[in-house]
Amino acid sequence: MARTNILLEFNRLQNEVSELDTPAAQVRKIVDSVSEIIGTDVCTLYLKDQHDDMVLVSSHGLVDTGPVSIPAGRGLVGLVARERHALNVARASAHPNFFYVEGTAEERFESFCGVPLVHYGKVIGVLVVQRTGAVALDSDSEALLITLCSQLAHIVADMPVTLQGAHINTYIGGVRGSSGIGIGQGVLCDHGELFSVADEPCTDVEAAIAEWHALLHKVRAELEHEESLLSAQLPTQASSLFHTYSSLLADHALIQQVESEIRNGNWLPGALRKSIHYFANLFLEMEDPYLRARHEDIHHLGNKLYASLQGKNALAERIASVQQVILIGDQVSISDIAAVPSDKLAGIICFEGSSMSHTAVLANALGVPAVMGIGVLKHLRSRERFIVDGNTGRIVRYPNDRLCSEFQQLINEERLLLDKLSALRDLPAITPDDHEIRLLTNSGLLADLSPGRKHGAQGIGLYRTEIPFLVRDSFPSEQEQVDVYGEVFKAYAGMPVYMRTLDVGGDKQLPYFPITDEENPALGWRGIRFSIDNIQLLMTQVRAMLRAGGTTGDLHVLLPMISAAEELNSFNELLSEALRQLGEEGYPVRRPRVGVMVEVPAAISQLPFWRNRIDFVSIGSNDLTQYLLALDRNNSRVASRYDSLHPAVIHEINRTVVIARDCGLALSLCGEMAADPLAVILLIGMGITTLSMSAVKLPRIKYLIRKLPQQRAAQILKQCLTLDSAQDIRAVLNVELQKLELTELIK
């Protein structure tokens, strides 16, 4: 076959495979098609199981003898997998690694060409082609097969390895959305797609219009009920999430447009489709970014109306007999979460999304394990069992009873550990050699406040002010922000509250102020850069912070993504102006402490120049790690390489600590490192005395601190600074946890 046709052939094969209903049919199509494309008598697909054995999942040309499994490393198939390159021989039976599979009639085929299937650096299987004649594949055919296999690996990566008709545990990687482990039955959040509805004649116009008004009333009631359910779990923040839908439902233009389409002879679903499409396009064509973004709201509302019309919106009915629910969808909505009782919601799986998506933020606030961005799961069965491992950012599809039992044991151990750690709530975090470390919590929703106090937080080390912005359909007013921030100071009266100014852009887009046309959003218009360019928003926010803190709140203002002195100067000028304005207006306020987030590596060397313009430094370990390693931790292709214990990260954080100490600047660290027991050993060794983390992780870190002398941690740090591998650093730290009998902290 000509090389120019290989891409066409593969695209054809990929499309045909995607249309098939079952994995068995898909792999059958693959082996039949590859045998035809390459021109061979046999094509066999082997996939690696959890024991590294090669399981024959489908074959074109071999006799079907039932389940076939080649032990790990055995035979030519095992050789190809182990050596990770193609093997092309004329006489397979003469090769010293030949392994005969009884009953397949493989002896009729002399030649053998096997190619490894590699997915993100790991061999997941082997594709084999054979012919009756003792002639190796020509070089062109071998090259074609290698090319095909490089693409086929991505198609078969998520297919179940089958043996004796039973599904073997299939791990699928994504992005950590919310920590924890959940086991339950999947419920798909699929509410139908309005735009696929066809036009049909309307047989009774007045009845259809009456049905339209009844539908409006029904959906309004559903929204009110969903809002009340969610508000009980996430007070204050929920109302704005439903405001857009409610406003659109009351819009006379939409109501009359649907009526007009019905009177023109279209049935209600068709009239609804045409009306929603009309208004969505109107907004999509507007120049204003905020108004243009509203087309998505109209589209979502149309789907909600259509789902309710079909009776598909009653998620509660579908989960009634499910004991533990795993919600699954492109983006699990807030309405879906609100529909499941908190004691039944075991986990969330999203095909799309990142760790900072609305769904992930809400899952964290509710303590529900969530994994984001796993890609579409094909051929979902009703109430299919899943394991959601939010700790590693993976799910397990087709888990057998044994694996479920192992994960349930982890869940039980976690509960027992938390019960044991709860006794430490009111005790200080002091090392055995009397070094005290202040433990603060991260927050962003009012629902986060209670868990922090429950677990003994000594203040808020990172309050993400962008969340009240993200969950609305417009910029909040100054008074609305004062009300939200006031609740935070009330909950943590007498304790420090570190409020980060608006940090949007990149992976945190405001729905009503989308930032488009950025080839690399992570390096674009975000953080302090966005705020300074929209100085009116920053002024309103700073005024709200000052008013909420008053003269009694211990306010610390954190500036995100700082990389230049000009940005710091601009903020300090704005802060002085805000204090002047509020003083003249009669508000009792005082100047807060101001600090910078060390997230952009450029900030580290600038700290000595800024020492007289700031009061403290806060290391944002997540973004700092990401920028130092040039890795997007929300990109599933490279997320496995993201490691906060990379030597470069450890050295740069240690350098930041030394510089801050020399400059007389207070220093704290927030992010995932603050909650990682292995990393905390090194942070204690560096002399960091303030850590901020999610509330649920706080007890185990306090437990570690009370067991580990600071002097010993310093010795371990010194040793780790000589190592050039994150793997070696982890090994040293794991040994130390074993010595302290604290390995349970990292299970």
pLDDT band at 518 (very low <50, low <70, confident <90, very high): low
Q: Taking the chain, what is the end-to-end CA distance rounded to the nearest angstrom?
A: 52
pLDDT at position 596 is 97
Q: Are residues 49 and 160 in the same domain?
A: yes
Cβ 564 vs Cβ 578: under 8 Å: no
Q: Are residues 350 and 238 in the same domain?
A: no
Q: Could you report the per-residue pLDDT of 611-629, keeping only the tens digit for each? A: 999 999 999 998 899 999 9
Q: What's 50's DSSP letter?
A: T
pLDDT over 80 (residue 526): no
Point out the domain boundary residue: 268, 290, 310: 310
pLDDT over 70 (residue 236): no
Q: Does 422 map to a domain?
A: no
Q: Does 430 map to a domain?
A: no
Q: 244: domain range?
A: 194-310
Cα–Cα distances (Å) from 513 to 93, 315, 475, 477, 655, in that order, read 66, 31, 9, 15, 37
Q: Are residues 668 and 691 in the same domain?
A: yes
Its pTM stands at 0.65
Structural domains in the chain (count)? 4
Q: Are residues 400 and 266 in the same domain?
A: no
Q: Does 573 map to a domain?
A: yes
Q: Are residues 386 and 533 in the same domain?
A: no
Cβ 132 vs Cβ 91: under 8 Å: no
pLDDT band at 706 (very low <50, low <70, confident <90, very high): very high
Q: Are residues 140 and 230 in the same domain?
A: no
pLDDT at position 4 is 42
Q: Are residues 131 and 182 in the same domain?
A: no
Point out the domain boundary residue: 279, 310, 341: 310
pLDDT at position 441 is 92
CA dist 742 and 67 (Å) reads 44
Among the options 295, 358, 455, 646, which is catalytic? 358
Among the options 189, 202, 670, 720, which is catalytic? 670
Q: Are residues 182 and 161 in the same domain?
A: no
pLDDT over 60 (residue 163): no
Q: Does 204 map to a domain?
A: yes
Distance of CA 649 to the CA centre of its chain: 22
* DSSP three-state, residue 342: coil
Active site residue 217: no
CATH number at residue 240: 1.10.274.10
pLDDT over 70 (residue 643): yes
Q: Are residues 505 and 620 in the same domain?
A: yes
Active site residue 358: yes
Q: What is the DSSP string of 576-596?
A: HHHHHHHHHTT----PPEEEE
Q: Are residues 271 and 250 in the same domain?
A: yes
Q: Are residues 130 and 243 in the same domain?
A: no
Q: Are residues 336 and 273 in the same domain?
A: no
Q: Are strands 554-559 and 593-598 parallel, antiparallel or unpaired?
A: parallel
CA dist 648 and 677 (Å) reads 19
From the list 447, 538, 460, the residue with the least C-alpha distance to 233 is 447
Q: Does 425 map to a domain?
A: no
CATH number at residue 460: 3.20.20.60
pLDDT band at 680 (very low <50, low <70, confident <90, very high): very high
Q: Does 319 map to a domain?
A: yes
